[in-house]
Amino acid sequence: MKLLILFSLTLASSVALAEESSRPPIQLKHQSSFDFEQGSRNPFWPIGWKPAAKAGQTGAAPAGPVIPASAFVVSSITLDPGAKFAIINGKTMSEGQHFGLQLGGQIHQVTVKAIQDGRVVLLQNGEETAIPLRRR
């Protein structure tokens, strides 16, 4: 009985394979593609984010005004031997992280340069700004 069931299953699968191989292959009518033009905006960047100019790059945009320290609030700092974190304006940041700060209608790019005991050093347009930890 088991042999008969096994034989019928084998026969059914071989018939299905024969039918599948006799079908013509699927041909696509439209194949999608993506061409990235030099100098255009990368679609994976956040909306409104612009890359920082690299050293030695000509035609870089002029540096804007430095953001005052009062625009930042450091509410917490965590110093761990493996990593350093700070909560800046309600968002968790680590050393070397880039973020945008919107003042008025303009978005300023800021980098967390260093997280130290009691303060955070931010870098914007080559200018360093030390932001003290807000204590209650």
Identity of residue 88: I
What local confidence, expressed as pLDDT, does residue 49 receive?
78
Quick one: pLDDT at residue 18? Answer: 63
Tokens of 124: 């914007």
Non-local CB neighbours of 39 within 8 Å, separated by 6+ positions:
none
Hey, what are 115's tokens? 């997280």
Of 105, 107, 87, the closest CA to residue 97 belongs to 87
Q: State pTM to two decimals.
A: 0.52
pLDDT means over runs of 10, the chain (136 residues) = 73 67 78 76 79 58 68 91 90 92 85 92 89 84
Angle at alpha carbon of residue 92, lines to 86 and 97, rounded to 5°: 85
Give the residue extent of every domain in the chain.
Answer: 69-132
